[in-house]
Copies of this chain bind each other. A is one copy, B any other.
């Protein structure tokens, strides 16, 4: 990231301190942005910080590997953690909130936010408690950091839909901004989990973004049968050894239900396992007339 004129961000670990700082800024009329992350930062995260800095006078970034959004057999334990490096990358933020698990989930914690509907399909079908964990921790962060705007990456498309739904349903007074996926030059969507990939897997993983581009190209060329498009996407996966497709679909941007007509705007979504690493990606496609 480009150098920031700001002084290095302060790091705080207590929710009460976070809330006090944010309220003090807002009481002084400053617009505050929030960038929630699980650390292991890459240029995608930093683009959210830049966007917040462009739109707000103060930016809070949070670093918290949230245990409740991992399933029992998932990678919570080995998820990459490097606080020192992450904080160095967050030079553009004003404040970094990096709490312990005990600070966020003290013994006896028992309350969860469940978003029906948009949580149930796709990632929700494969990771049944994932969005419950996401919605819960995001709501907690919103209460600890009552900001004006919160920034999320489009890479986790279904997550952004779940968060928007939660915010609307629970009357949370925070604006949600979704920022474009940042990609490597060859198309791979940036993800903290890319660190798990061997060079060979890294190459095979390109099938995700390639399948999305293929869907976009087919639709641009006039294909209007969603089934034909998803069949073409899936065949790219079956031609790629070492990659197991979880789903490839064209969905409505708001309901994330699979579309049976191509018109307006659709989202192509894919999820696949590359070796032991599970990756997701998506592309918003304007169908045109």
- Chain A positions within 8 Å of B, measured between CB atoms, are 15, 19, 108-118, 135-136, 139-140, 143-144, 146, 165-166, 169-173
Residues of B within 8 A of A110 (CB): 115-118, 165, 169
Residues of B within 8 A of A19 (CB): 171, 173
- Of A15, A109, A171, chain B has the most CB atoms within 10 Å of the CB of A171
Q: Are B117 and A165 in contact (CB under 8 A)?
A: no
Q: Which residue of B lies closest to A115 (CB)?
A: B111
Residues of B within 8 A of A135 (CB): 111
- Of A110, A111, A114, A169, chain B has the most CB atoms within 10 Å of the CB of A111
Task: Give Cα A113 to B132, complex, Å.
Answer: 10
A interface SS class: mixed
Task: Give Cα A245 to B167, complex, Å.
Answer: 41
Instruction: Enumerate the 8 nearest inter-chain pairs by beta-carbon distance, A residue then B residue, closest first.
Output: A111-B169, A143-B171, A110-B116, A110-B117, A111-B115, A111-B166, A112-B114, A140-B171
Task: Give Cα A202 to B110, complex, Å.
Answer: 38
Task: Give Cα A108 to B116, complex, Å.
Answer: 10
Q: Which residue of B lies closest to A111 (CB)?
A: B169
Task: Give Cα A146 to B169, complex, Å.
Answer: 16
29 A–B contacts, CB within 8 A, in A order: A15-B171, A19-B171, A108-B117, A110-B115, A110-B116, A110-B118, A110-B169, A111-B114, A111-B115, A111-B116, A111-B135, A111-B165, A111-B166, A111-B169, A112-B113, A112-B114, A113-B113, A113-B170, A136-B170, A139-B170, A140-B169, A140-B170, A140-B171, A143-B170, A143-B171, A143-B172, A143-B173, A144-B171, A146-B173
Task: Give Cα A116 to B114, complex, Å.
Answer: 12
Residues of B within 8 A of A136 (CB): 170
Task: Give Cα A144 to B172, complex, Å.
Answer: 8
Residues of B within 8 A of A113 (CB): 111-114, 170
Q: Which residue of B lies closest to A255 (CB)?
A: B108
Task: Give Cα A281 to B81, complex, Å.
Answer: 51
Residues of B within 8 A of A146 (CB): 173
Q: List 19 other contacts, CB 8 Å, given A19-B173, A110-B169, A143-B170.
A: A19-B171, A110-B118, A111-B113, A111-B114, A111-B115, A111-B116, A111-B135, A111-B166, A111-B169, A112-B113, A112-B114, A113-B113, A114-B114, A136-B170, A140-B169, A140-B170, A143-B171, A143-B173, A144-B171
